[in-house]
Chains A and B, each alone.
Chain A
């Protein structure tokens, strides 16, 4: 006999849905660099095809971008910007500005705003302006901010971030701030979860960190 009968499978429409990084992403500048952090969940409706996603995309040695929204859209945009910035870097002959990378994202996101679903945070360090964080939300605007959060989980941690952010933190303070914020969002948001990936960017380059699910802070 048939289990569901004529009742349509509730998830039938959603399981094949395009994959989104329903997400929590965060970038915070500290005294001498930036910390970028994200969760690691990609959801396709109710199913999670990838629970160990890396949403921290390398754009240049000291410029990273954080992806939220449609996984396919953001991956493709990052590939384009990495290519353009790479070409620009060769012609420039020295380290590219973080604001150049942000501007490239801005131009792609704004001119295709009706076709894309992408919320991006660009963060990095350059020898001209030091640590910088740029927020490029859904509409395609680009604003320089001291710290930025994005994705579906960010709504749950605006209060925490506004209360705990301080200008010119030390690296340890900034790391703790980032990890706690992501952990809080993971605990409250359906579409965020898995592990926390953190990258620390400063004048010496970038260093990756990985916090597995059973070592999340605030347990």
Chain B
């Protein structure tokens, strides 16, 4: 099949994976580390809706690649989701789902439902047998009320009243198991979610920076960015390095004059079709 036909097929193309594997097997090239969101993401259902929260650190191996990444993605006005796992997978998969949900909404003329998003996520992730490394917490409010679902990278979904995912999930779950109750108020739910993410940030090396939060009710969804920060950098060098001209000695000087090349074709010349 020609290359362009393959592109038009749509979806994911795993050809490069085979190439990478062959190169790695022959030890010609070391694979670059994928940027993972070693993460803490949480969600809980409270009296009037759903609160989902996430930290904001993206790691690649043991380096922090991004100190303020947004892990909360909009799927619809009334459905938001948090993604853990491989950062690129999360971003693309949620963008694709947002588009799919919008098309379905236009086709049906009805508000998006969480179960639609969850079913489609599960089917897609199962089809790829866990190779798409996204663990998601999808939360929202629709005609069937407030719902929260945690989806594992292999396509298993569980509708739960509270859920945590990511490398910091154990720390966050310990907070939830100790303090979660039914019918919390908004203040209690927000505080609990922040506390759970805080546990992840403090006790998990893959999570850090700040807490991002999203509150979804049947009337509106509100994103709150950088609700709480940890380990903020508060010292900057008052005299940053400045090298005056002439600091570096040199032995030889070569000057290349900048040359402008302009290609002019005759505007009167007609195109000859052969």
Query: B157 touching A44 by the CB < 8 A rule?
Result: no
Q: Is A71 an interface residue (CB 8 A)?
A: yes
Which of B154, B160, B167 has the largest count of A CB atoms less than 10 A from its CB? B154
Inside 8 A of A15's CB, which chain B residues have their CB?
Answer: 167, 170
Inside 8 A of B153's CB, which chain A residues have their CB?
Answer: 18
Inside 8 A of A70's CB, which chain B residues have their CB?
Answer: 154, 156
- Helix, strand, loop or mixed for chain B's interface? mixed
Query: A72 touching B155 by the CB < 8 A rule?
Result: yes
Query: A44 touching B155 by the CB < 8 A rule?
Result: no
CB distance from A194 to the nearest CB of B (A): 13
Inside 8 A of A72's CB, which chain B residues have their CB?
Answer: 122, 125-126, 130, 152, 154-156
Q: Is B209 an interface residue (CB 8 A)?
A: no
Q: Is A42 an interface residue (CB 8 A)?
A: yes
**A19 to B156 Cα, complex, angstroms:** 7
Residue count of chain A within 8 Å CB distance of chain B = 17
Chain A residue with minimal CB distance to B85?
A: A16
Q: A49-B158, A50-B158, A50-B160 are in contact. Are A44 and B122 (CB under 8 A)?
A: no
Query: B158 touching A44 by the CB < 8 A rule?
Result: no
Q: A44-B152, A47-B170, A49-B152 are in contact. Are A76 and B158 (CB under 8 A)?
A: no
Inside 8 A of A42's CB, which chain B residues have their CB?
Answer: 156, 158
Q: Is B134 an interface residue (CB 8 A)?
A: no
Inside 8 A of A18's CB, which chain B residues have their CB?
Answer: 130, 152-154, 156
B150, B155, B160, B169: the one within 8 Å of A75 (CB): B155
**A50 to B177 Cα, complex, angstroms:** 12
Query: B160 touching A76 by the CB < 8 A rule?
Result: no
Which 5 A-B residue pairings sit nearest by Cβ, starting from the closest?
A72-B154, A71-B156, A72-B155, A72-B156, A18-B154
Inside 8 A of A49's CB, which chain B residues have their CB?
Answer: 150, 152, 158, 169
Inside 8 A of B155's CB, which chain A residues have their CB?
Answer: 72, 75-76
Q: A18-B153, A71-B156 are in contact. List 12 more A-B contacts (CB 8 A).
A: A18-B154, A19-B152, A19-B154, A42-B156, A44-B152, A47-B170, A49-B158, A53-B158, A70-B154, A72-B155, A75-B122, A76-B155
Q: Is B123 an interface residue (CB 8 A)?
A: yes
Inside 8 A of A75's CB, which chain B residues have their CB?
Answer: 122, 155-157
Inside 8 A of B119's CB, which chain A residues have their CB?
Answer: 79
Which of B125, B150, B156 has the largest count of A CB atoms less than 10 A from its CB? B156
Inside 8 A of B122's CB, which chain A residues have their CB?
Answer: 72, 75-76
CB distance from B177 to the nearest CB of A (A): 9
Contact string, A39-81, partner B, CB cutoff 8 A, digits 1/0? 0001010010110110000000000000000111101100100
CB distance from B168 to the nearest CB of A (A): 11
CB distance from A68 to the nearest CB of B (A): 13
Chain A residue with minimal CB distance to B205?
A: A2
Contact string, B140-180, partner A, CB cutoff 8 A, digits 1/0? 00000000001011111110100000010110000000000
A-contacting residues, B123-138, CB 8 Å: 123, 125-126, 130
Query: B123 touching A76 by the CB < 8 A rule?
Result: yes
Chain A residue with minimal CB distance to B157?
A: A75
7 contacting pairs across A/B (C-beta < 8 A) = A18-B130, A50-B160, A72-B155, A75-B122, A76-B122, A76-B123, A79-B119
Chain B residue with minimal CB distance to A51?
A: B177
